[in-house]
Structure 1
Amino acid sequence: MNRTSKWVLGTMLIALAFYVIAPQGPSAIGSPAFWVYRHELVLVSGVVSLALMTLCVILAVRLKWMEPLTRGLDKSYAIHKWAGIAVTFTVTVHWLAEKFPKWTRDIFSYPPKMKNPNFHVLPWQKDIYHLGNTLVENAIYVILLLLIIALFKRVPYRTFRATHKVFPILFLIAAFHSVTILYKADWMGTPTGYAVILLSVVGSLAALVSLGQQIGANRKISAEVAKFDVQGPGIVDLWLKNTTRPLGHTAGQFVFLSFAHDSEPHPFSLASAPQDTDTLRFGIKTNGDFTDRLPERLRVGEAVRIEGPYGHFSFDLPHGRQVWVAGGIGITPFLSRLDELARTGRSSAEIDLWYCCREASGAAYPDNLKELCQAAGVTLHVVLSSTGERLTGERLKEVHGSLEDTAILFCGPAAFRTCLLDSLKAQGFDTRAFHSDSFDMR
């Protein structure tokens, strides 16, 4: 089971545990079996949905202390994505369990409900949970619509991000409903009730951070565009001049850049060595609705906001050999490490860099790569798919011999990663020594 599954399933199991210890809902006492099962299905799906939504909003605010737990912000976004997919299912179940009997009461013969005469709700309590029900019922339709939009890759990132900004508001509504419905469920003052309140409060705080545009506020510095150039097939070589404190990054990390001409933050790997505190370098591929227009919109002297650094793509590994695999613009984090090694001295590990591109022109970035590898003591291999070449686990084993005591660090397209990892598994490679970063932020 991978790390993402552990986080999502673990959250669901914890929520189920709190549901199991909850007292039986008073509206179910003495009712025919159908209404008991329906009532409990509404409650359990609601508790699990709240737990998953809380996980989503916490991960969305990019808390520094969460990164070591998830092994990097890119892994946090994967957990966020799959928790959101799970919420789509659990919210749908919650909604249908509540609504289906009402929609079909003229079609099916349901047994009559029997109310518990010993259960009493004060008028103001009844009013407040009815308000919560009304608000969340309308919110659920929006939640389901936005979750579906988020899952369609064809929706432009700008639209995806704009619709995602509504989720904190929807969470606040869901949290209000979750707390007020405790009166009806008779969970107020119970361990389960306290757990629901805690989830609602913590998630609401994260939602308010997002609504207040305070995500990463203490990790932002100011910079300006020093110079830029378009190299190879649509690669922007961007240099920023730091105008505030040092960023304090390590090789392999990334940041979010917000430009004066576009305030939305976008993630990019750092290509400069950690020793570069005054000037930061980035290699940006023009392959999206934002990056396609970047070369024509950039201006020297333009203000840039940098948020970060993020990521746990570390080169400090105990293995005797490191094999670096870069797919296209995935060369960027390796440039940072190459620059660092060229300045500080060669690594104690034997290092090979496999640069995989479609055409020879793609491997032309940066133009000093051969010299940089030579200075860093790294052996460079270039693989061009246009000539029929493919990098596989079998080829790595042929070139390097045994892959024992070898760490493979990968940065590139997700499909390439999957194929390479599968071929490495076929060669008996220990996948725990395979390290990769992902920039799939949706």
Structure 2
Amino acid sequence: MKTLLASFLALVTVAWAVTSSSNPAEGASLPWVVRQEALYLTGLWAFSLMSLAIMLATRPAWLERPLGGMDRIYRVHKWAGILAIGFAALHWLVEMSDGVIKSVVGREGRLPKEHEGGFLEVMRDVGEDFGEWAIYALIAMLVLTLWKRLPYRPWRYLHHAMPGLYGMLAIHAAFLAPLDYWTSAIGALLALFIAVGTVSGLRSLSGRIGRGRQVSGDIEAVREQASGLTEVVCRLEDRWRGHRPGQFAFVTFDHIEGAHPFTIACADRGDRHITFQIKALGDYTQGLAARLAAGQPVKIEGPYGRFDYRRGRRKSDQVWIAGGIGVTPFLAWLESLQEAPAEAPVADFYYCTRQRDDDPFVARLESLCAALPTIRLHVVSTDRDRPLTAEALHARHAGERQPEIWFCGPRAFAQSLRSGLRDLGMKRVRFHQEAFEMR
């Protein structure tokens, strides 16, 4: 993700630098030139990243292969949006710096503003106002997004305002960009960003995101596996194209609530039945079992994701680690191998739970792994065992052929293992992790 965003910003920066070097300011003093070019560059960074973020929000399935799955697409979307708002705030601060420069060096050497008159001049004024209002709204949106205590439903409706805010920024960028930009490389990029972002925003406003991958169906069964854990079995229409083990889907049980991503916790048997194991982790999933019943309609969008052990290196040993409800993709993996146990990789599977005796998944995992002799199941129950640590993994799996780790569980747990293994010298370990977060 860091490499992608850095490369994207580098492309914009190079295009800006080429354009700026070919159109040097004449008769302007250095402080005013620096301010002007900083204003243009921060604006370009902010707008290009916002364009990228709104395009990725349309869930482009064709990018799953190069970016590693929809979960990573959404992670890039999230950080592109955060960086865009940060650069927008910096852009506003640079704009406000003219008073400081006046007090230090005076007005002498200031670059003259472009005045074309007529419609263009009117739209410049409109674009300037739009940009300022949009920046205030975006900063407020960022604060609400990072404030995790805000329930998902109101945040979702607020987030629907983003295409409108983007439209305001597009007008700001189009009419306040220097006229000579439009005959240069940066102008071509800017036009591309405006076109892609505008089309993406219109798709969002019209409700067309993911429509081609949506399938209707009915809830066939709802079971409360344990306190706060609900199993939902759905039967889908003929249009369902099936799924690969480890994939997820956006599920809509309630049109007002909207879609939520859940991992598909079963193998594809070709009968259009899919199962979700849903843990009560937020305001929506609390009490979900009481709100669902057999026969209710459901809409599924997907499948998405590339969390698949078969993408790993063939000769590497595998370590699978599941934390709590993160076991769901592994359930699908194990189920898919039951009919072809010879295809199972050699893997150590660590399932981490708080209380083994009360966990409904333990017996299921033991049954599935019993038919797969190359999968060694280790149930780590923190009420009786020491928690799984990087030190324990290092002691068991360090060697010339370092393992490939597939992890699904709490983010803090993953970070602890990753950093710990790195500190212990296992820097060449490939650590695959589901990274899906809606906000």
Same fold (TM over 0.5): yes
Classify 1:254/1:101 alpha carbon distance in 2 versus 1 (closer, same or farther; 3 Å): same
The answer (yes or no) to whether the contact 1:328–1:363 under 8 Å persists in 2 is no
The answer (yes or no) to whether the contact 1:222–1:304 under 8 Å persists in 2 is yes
What does residue range 82-97 of structure 1 map to in structure 2 within 5 Å?
82-97=79-94
Aligned equivalent of 1:364:
360
* Whole-angstrom distance in 1 between the partners of 2:433 and 2:214: 25
Q: Deviations over 1:391-414 (max 9, x none)?
A: 123323444574726322111000
Task: Please report the TM-score for the alignment, with normalisation by the length of structure 1.
Answer: 0.91
Residue 61 of structure 1 pairs with residue 62 of structure 2: no
Provide the secondary structure at the position in 2 that maps to 1:272: coil
**Cα drift, residue 187 of structure 1:** 1.9
The answer (yes or no) to whether the contact 1:397–1:403 under 8 Å persists in 2 is no
Say which of 121, 127, 135 aligns to 2:130. Answer: 135
What does residue range 42-441 of structure 1 map to in structure 2 within 5 Å?
42-101=39-98, 110-112=106-108, 121-182=116-177, 184-260=178-254, 262-316=256-310, 317=312, 318-361=314-357, 363-365=359-361, 367-377=363-373, 378-399=375-396, 402=399, 404=401, 406-441=403-438
The answer (yes or no) to whether the contact 1:242–1:279 under 8 Å persists in 2 is yes
The answer (yes or no) to whether the contact 1:260–1:302 under 8 Å persists in 2 is no
* Whole-angstrom distance in 1 between the partners of 2:386 and 2:197: 49
* Whole-angstrom distance in 1 between the partners of 2:29 and 2:415: 51
* Whole-angstrom distance in 2 between the partners of 1:379 and 1:220: 37
* Whole-angstrom distance in 2 between the partners of 1:427 and 1:277: 47
Task: Please report the TM-score for the alignment, with normalisation by the length of structure 2.
Answer: 0.92
The answer (yes or no) to whether the contact 2:349–2:377 under 8 Å persists in 1 is yes
Residue 123 of structure 2 aligns to which amino acid in structure 1?
I
Aligned equivalent of 1:32:
29
* Whole-angstrom distance in 2 between the partners of 1:320 and 1:49: 42
Provide the secondary structure at the position in 2 that maps to 1:304: strand
The answer (yes or no) to whether the contact 2:344–2:372 under 8 Å persists in 1 is no
**Cα drift, residue 185 of structure 1:** 4.7
* Whole-angstrom distance in 2 between the partners of 1:403 and 1:380: 23
Mean CA deviation greater in 184-193 or 214-223? 184-193
* Whole-angstrom distance in 2 between the partners of 1:362 and 1:19: 60
The answer (yes or no) to whether the contact 2:228–2:287 under 8 Å persists in 1 is no
Classify 1:404/1:430 alpha carbon distance in 2 versus 1 (closer, same or farther; 3 Å): farther
Tell me the matched-pair count. Answer: 436
Provide the secondary structure at the position in 1 that maps to 2:224: strand
The answer (yes or no) to whether the contact 2:32–2:110 under 8 Å persists in 1 is no
- CA root-mean-square deviation: 2.5
The answer (yes or no) to whether the contact 2:391–2:421 under 8 Å persists in 1 is yes
* Whole-angstrom distance in 1 between the partners of 2:139 and 2:106: 28
* Whole-angstrom distance in 2 between the partners of 1:156 and 1:348: 41
Classify 1:400/1:121 alpha carbon distance in 2 versus 1 (closer, same or farther; 3 Å): closer
The answer (yes or no) to whether the contact 2:29–2:109 under 8 Å persists in 1 is yes
**Cα drift, residue 113 of structure 1:** 5.9
Percentage of matched positions with identical amino acids: 32
The answer (yes or no) to whether the contact 1:132–1:176 under 8 Å persists in 2 is yes
**Cα drift, residue 16 of structure 1:** 0.8
Provide the secondary structure at the position in 1 that maps to 2:243: coil
* Structure 2: unaligned runs, 5 residues or longer: none
The answer (yes or no) to whether the contact 1:345–1:376 under 8 Å persists in 2 is yes
**Cα drift, residue 226 of structure 1:** 0.4
**Cα drift, residue 236 of structure 1:** 0.6
Classify 1:242/1:372 alpha carbon distance in 2 versus 1 (closer, same or farther; 3 Å): same
The answer (yes or no) to whether the contact 1:223–1:244 under 8 Å persists in 2 is no
**Cα drift, residue 438 of structure 1:** 2.0
Classify 1:237/1:173 alpha carbon distance in 2 versus 1 (closer, same or farther; 3 Å): same
Mean CA deviation greater in 296-305 or 381-390? 381-390
Residue 369 of structure 1 aligns to which amino acid in structure 2?
L
**Cα drift, residue 368 of structure 1:** 2.6
**Cα drift, residue 164 of structure 1:** 1.5
Provide the secondary structure at the position in 1 that maps to 2:181: coil
The answer (yes or no) to whether the contact 1:22–1:190 under 8 Å persists in 2 is yes
